[in-house]
Amino acid sequence: MNIILLGPPGAGKGTQAQRLVAERGMVQLSTGDMLRAAVAAGTPVGQRAKAIMDAGQLVPDDVVIGIISDRLDQPDLAKGAIFDGFPRTTAQAEALDRLLADKGLRLSAVIALTVDEEALVDRITGRFSCATCGEGYHDRYKLPKQDGVCDACGGATFKRRPDDNVETVRARLAEYHAKTAPIADYYGQRSMLHSVDGMADIDAVYCQIVAILDESVADAE
């Protein structure tokens, strides 16, 4: 089973992907992680990517597809892949379709996490984490039980991502709508797109996703 999770920055895609990895045995495929791994391994496509990045250029789609192709051949993907950060454009979606078809694979579902963007801005700009263990917190929704002390490790130092400010978040949302949101139309025309309420609590969102996956399995049988 191979799926794509769509949604703007901060919609919760990473959180849901991690749970699918833990509970369903799927593998989260992050293009950034795969690029770094290919470069470190010195694969032919990784060497090409390194040369492009060392020159300060963006890695083109065909190189990214090559890295994904190599990754899909590895045995740990027997229970399926969750595509994270790819595709970002309709052209990439078309290239992914061709790649999967060439390998005798297919997408089971494309799941879009729909969100209220004003609430999303609040969600992102209010988040911070423990600098020691990475435990996540929020100014409004999840403060440490003891002020200034991490619930998980007892650390006393916290940090915020420098790009978690209103201006940057709104710019990222605008870029998402301009480049990535049209992918929803692409998959919608193929009756592959499913929407879930990304503003629900984490467990409720996960239950919606699992129901879609189970339905997709039943339809394929």
- Does residue 123 have a known ligand-binding role? no
88 catalytic, yes or no?
A: yes
**Helix-helix angle 61-72:31-41, to 10 degrees:** 80
φ/ψ bin of 148: left (φ > 0), alpha (ψ from -120 to 50), beta (otherwise): left
Identified catalytic residue from 24, 50, 88, 142: 88
- Does residue 210 have a known ligand-binding role? no
71 catalytic, yes or no?
A: no
- Does residue 104 have a known ligand-binding role? no
- Does residue 213 have a known ligand-binding role? no
- Does residue 87 have a known ligand-binding role? yes
Integer Cα distance of 174 and 166 in angstroms: 12
Identified catalytic residue from 24, 160, 170, 179: 160
Identified catalytic residue from 19, 127, 145, 170: 127
- Does residue 207 have a known ligand-binding role? no
Collect all residues with Cβ–Cβ distance below 8 Å to 206 and sequence separation of at least 6: 16, 19
Integer Cα distance of 28 and 86 in angstroms: 11
172 catalytic, yes or no?
A: yes
Burial of 54: CB neighbours in 10 Å, binned 0-12, 13-18, 19+: exposed
160 catalytic, yes or no?
A: yes
| CB atoms inside a 10 Å sphere around CB 136 | 11
- Does residue 153 have a known ligand-binding role? yes
- Does residue 48 have a known ligand-binding role? no
- Does residue 161 have a known ligand-binding role? yes
Positions marked active-site: 13, 88, 127, 160, 172
Q: Which residues are annotated as a binding site for Zn(2+)?
A: 130, 133, 150, 153
Q: Which residues are annotated as a binding site?
A: 10-15, 31, 36, 57-59, 85-88, 92, 127, 130, 133, 150, 153, 161, 172, 200
Q: Which residues are annotated as a binding site for AMP?
A: 31, 36, 57-59, 85-88, 92, 161, 172
